[in-house]
């Protein structure tokens, strides 16, 4: 059978067999390069799927806290009783008075580390839970036992003297129970406060960006500026600044501003603002560049002044898109403002990081839920606004 190629002239010199040989050789090289790249990538990023399972216990406290975030609390009524203990020579110290009616007795008041002693408490609220603490000379408290008082408000515990520095120690019994109605927890108050700060951080950053980016975007629009060398230079500079500023992540900017103006929301506002000026400025400029010159020509032809031309032929063509871009940027900034605190930019991220560092999982869970809720709400709100405006 004859080989009937349709376009034999396109490859006049290379024999078909040679060509496929080169092809397969190139293909092998490509395959090898890809293998190398991903092999190296697997190693440097220390991918180890097994850890997801072997270290599952580390994430469990956070996950289980997610179902019971720290939201509500009740006032606590507390009864405290104290008793001194010495692990050396000296006088027994006098202690602040115990809650009225309660008392704590130790089977011995002197001893050494590891000695056993019996602790008896009485006069407490009956059938109530409490904690027995060991406080050393420098005020550090070790939890010894949890207990529950009996019907007469008494309890008896046997403990060993713990290994802790100092000579003068205090054994403390604390019995507490909730009273009064449920109310927002301290965490909830802090998280709410910080969440409000976060939303306003996004608002101020975005607003500053819009106010600055709108006028700048005209300088960055080629169709308006590139009419003479001076204009073209301004256009080039504006666009270059936009591109450079846009490529620096807000998180990195926040780190810089946190050094400059100190840790706090202002650093975050500056970081979001500067990044958004560049990002919005570029989008706005491109929108101005894409407007139809026809209406401008038509309005000019009626004898309108330049201001009227802008009002009747330019603005109607750019405003809806400007609003769309701004809402889009607002969405991004709300998300960004929730994490910018990680690098000192203020807002909820700052305390979320603190909670995690202190292993306060329920508090962290509260913050995580707040972020989720607010971001979802803001997304919904901007979707509604977008619908209305565009």
* Residue number, 142 or 298, with CB nearest to another protein: 298
Which string of x and - marks every residue 204-223 that binds another protein (by CB under 8 A)? --------------------
Binding test (CB under 8 A) with another protein, winner from 86, 117, 131, 304: 304
Which string of x and - marks every residue 225-264 that binds another protein (by CB under 8 A)? ----------------------------------------
* Residue number, 299 or 374, with CB nearest to another protein: 299
Q: Hey, what are 313's tokens?
A: 């032929």
User: In this structure, are residues 160 and 74 in contact, taking their beta carbons and an 8 Å threshold?
Assistant: no
Binding test (CB under 8 A) with another protein, winner from 52, 307, 387, 388: 307
Q: Hey, what are 136's tokens?
A: 């050393």
Cβ-proximal residues to 309 (8 Å cutoff; 6+ apart), any chain: 296, 299, 300
Any idea which residue has 């109310």 for tokens? 183
User: In this structure, are residues 368 and 352 in contact, taking their beta carbons and an 8 Å threshold?
Assistant: yes
Helix segments in the chain, DSSP class H = 16-44, 51-54, 56-66, 186-219, 222-225, 229-247, 250-261, 265-289, 293-301, 306-309, 315-339, 348-357, 361-389
Binding test (CB under 8 A) with another protein, winner from 72, 108, 320, 379: 320
Cross-strand pairs, 118: 158
How many whole angstroms separate alpha carbon 95 and alpha carbon 172?
11
Instruction: Give the closest residue to 218 by CA, choosing from 305, 322, 71.
Output: 322
User: In this structure, are residues 155 and 103 in contact, taking their beta carbons and an 8 Å threshold?
Assistant: no
Within 274-303, the residues that bind another protein by CB under 8 A are 292, 294-295, 297-303
* Residue number, 37 or 389, with CB nearest to another protein: 389
30 CB neighbour count, 10 Å cutoff: 10
- Smallest separation, CB 381 to another protein (Å): 24
- Smallest separation, CB 312 to another protein (Å): 5
How many whole angstroms separate alpha carbon 349 and alpha carbon 343?
8
User: In this structure, are residues 235 and 220 in contact, taking their beta carbons and an 8 Å threshold?
Assistant: yes
- Smallest separation, CB 320 to another protein (Å): 7
Examine residue 20 and tell whether it contacts another protein (CB under 8 A): no
Cross-strand pairs, 82: 172
Binding test (CB under 8 A) with another protein, winner from 128, 136, 207, 317: 317
Examine residue 1 and tell whether it contacts another protein (CB under 8 A): no
Cross-strand pairs, 158: 118
* Residue number, 312 or 342, with CB nearest to another protein: 312
User: In this structure, are residues 169 and 130 in contact, taking their beta carbons and an 8 Å threshold?
Assistant: no
- Smallest separation, CB 306 to another protein (Å): 9
Binding test (CB under 8 A) with another protein, winner from 160, 308, 359, 372: 308
How many whole angstroms separate alpha carbon 236 and alpha carbon 244?
12
How many whole angstroms separate alpha carbon 191 and alpha carbon 185?
10
Q: Taking contact as CB under 8 A, which single stretch among the options 49-57, 84-92, 204-212, 314-322 is the one that binds another protein?
A: 314-322
How many whole angstroms separate alpha carbon 129 and alpha carbon 111?
28
Binding test (CB under 8 A) with another protein, winner from 313, 327, 348, 367: 313
* Residue number, 180 or 294, with CB nearest to another protein: 294
- Smallest separation, CB 62 to another protein (Å): 50
* Residue number, 317 or 354, with CB nearest to another protein: 317
Examine residue 316 and tell whether it contacts another protein (CB under 8 A): yes
Site size for another protein, by CB under 8 A? 20
- Smallest separation, CB 221 to another protein (Å): 18
- Smallest separation, CB 384 to another protein (Å): 21
Residues that bind another protein (CB under 8 A): 292, 294-295, 297-305, 307-308, 311-313, 316-317, 320
């Amino acid at each position: 059978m004859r080989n009937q190629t349709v376009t034999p002239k396109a490859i006049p010199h290379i024999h078909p067999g040679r060509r496929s040989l080169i092809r397969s050789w190139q293909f092998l090289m490509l395959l090898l390069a890809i293998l190398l790249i991903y092999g190296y990538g697997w190693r440097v990023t220390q991918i180890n799927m097994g850890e997801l399972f072997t270290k599952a216990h580390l994430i469990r406290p956070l996950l289980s806290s997610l179902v019971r975030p720290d939201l509500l609390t009740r006032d606590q009524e507390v009864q405290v009783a104290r008793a001194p203990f010495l692990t050396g020579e000296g006088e027994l110290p006098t202690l602040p008075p115990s809650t009225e009616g309660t008392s704590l007795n130790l089977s011995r008041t002197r001893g050494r580390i590891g000695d056993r002693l019996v602790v008896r408490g009485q006069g407490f609220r009956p059938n109530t839970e409490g904690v027995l603490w060991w406080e050393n000379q420098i005020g550090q408290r070790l939890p010894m036992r949890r207990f529950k008082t009996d019907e007469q408000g008494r309890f008896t515990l046997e403990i060993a003297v713990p290994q802790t520095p100092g000579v003068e120690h205090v054994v403390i019994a604390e019995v507490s129970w909730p009273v009064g109605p449920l109310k927002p927890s301290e965490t909830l108050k802090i998280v709410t406060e910080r969440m409000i700060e976060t939303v306003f951080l996004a608002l101020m950053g975005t607003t500053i960006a819009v106010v600055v980016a709108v006028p700048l975007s005209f300088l960055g629009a080629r169709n308006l500026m590139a009419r003479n060398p001076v204009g073209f230079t301004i256009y080039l500079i504006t666009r270059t600044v936009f591109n450079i500023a846009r490529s620096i992540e807000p998180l990195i900017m926040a780190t810089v501003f946190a050094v400059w103006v100190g840790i706090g929301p202002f650093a975050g506002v500056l970081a979001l603002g500067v990044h958004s000026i560049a990002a919005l400025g570029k989008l706005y400029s491109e929108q101005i560049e894409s407007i139809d010159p026809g209406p401008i020509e038509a309005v000019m032809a009626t004898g309108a002044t330049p201001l009227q031309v802008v009002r009747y032929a330019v603005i109607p063509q750019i405003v809806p898109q400007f609003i769309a871009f701004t809402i889009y940027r607002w969405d991004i900034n709300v998300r960004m403002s929730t994490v910018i605190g990680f690098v000192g930019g203020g807002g909820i991220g700052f305390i979320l990081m603190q909670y995690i560092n202190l292993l306060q999982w329920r508090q962290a869970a509260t913050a995580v839920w707040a972020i989720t809720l607010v971001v979802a709400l803001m997304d919904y709100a901007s979707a509604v606004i977008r619908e209305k405006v565009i």
